[in-house]
Structure 1
């Protein structure tokens, strides 16, 4: 996957690295009772956009990896770092989709009180924190694989 001869992955990654944590913070902010109603629809739209950005980054990363013979060379320090980045990215996709589903349910059902509101709130908070942490870890692993020289 390319745009104007440039691999799409380095471009798509920037959208995922900015949008997914931003939506995580938006989800956490939506747990504040006085902000809940105002952030309902931005959270729904943001969750959809974040899922799209993370999935695009993952798919374009797979495409980039498969298009370069370098990545199929015998295991080396670089290929092991790329494998680690890929494993984290797969987890990030799964967690982001789950978080997005909870954000959509929370926004569409929008329970005013009761156990469903508390359950969705707890799942939303856990998912938001997981997305923020996983995006940071995945991005760090990718940067270390590409740029090297980072102790590890």
Structure 2
């Protein structure tokens, strides 16, 4: 189902939505944490966070399809080992993006909705959003780095 589009593997195409969407969602979360920017960032944060999670789901499924198609499901191949680690980190990123999406939606609907009233939720949720946003950035980098190594330098012998 998520293997290809127009005869091309879907994974290398859709992964770019995650590479752009996840850091953009984190950036919007950082902006949302600033009270003066909260009204501006509220709905873009919610939309981009949910979109980044959806793109990550499609990227994960299409990646597993590509792995099956290429026959890289184990063995002594160094590429297979890198792809297995890439897949493991991608699963972790999916969990982090799910948590971030839930936090982003909670922030969009709950934080700062009553003018002149500062509640504990107005302080705690944006702080949690920033912390999980940092995790999004770190895991996005880790997944992308090992995926790029699997494609471009699986043996580690190339120096660019």
Question: In structure 1, what is the equivalent of residue 37 of structure 2?
Answer: 35
Aligned counterparts of 1:149 and 1:117: Cα–Cα separation in 2 = 46
Residue aligning to 1:144: 149
Q: Does 1:132 align with 2:137?
A: yes
Instruction: Name which of 48, 61, 64 aligns with 2:63.
Output: 61
Q: Write 1 or 2 for the structure with the bigger share of helix.
A: 1
Task: Provide the C-alpha distance between the structure 2 equivalents of 1:137 and 1:143, rounded to a whole number of angstroms.
Answer: 10
TM-score, normalised with respect to structure 1: 0.93
Per-residue CA deviation, residues 72-127 of structure 1 (Å, 9 max, x unaligned), is 35232211111111111000000001001000011011235221122101210011
User: What RMSD over aligned residues (CA atoms) do the two structures have, in Å?
Assistant: 1.6
Q: Which runs of 5+ in 1 are unaligned?
A: none
Gaps of 5+ in 2: none
Rg larger in 1 or in 2?
2
Taking structure 2 as the reference length, the TM-score comes to 0.88
Q: Is the 8 A contact 2:97 2:136 kept in 1?
A: yes
Runs of 4+ in 1 over 3 A off after TM superposition: 149-152
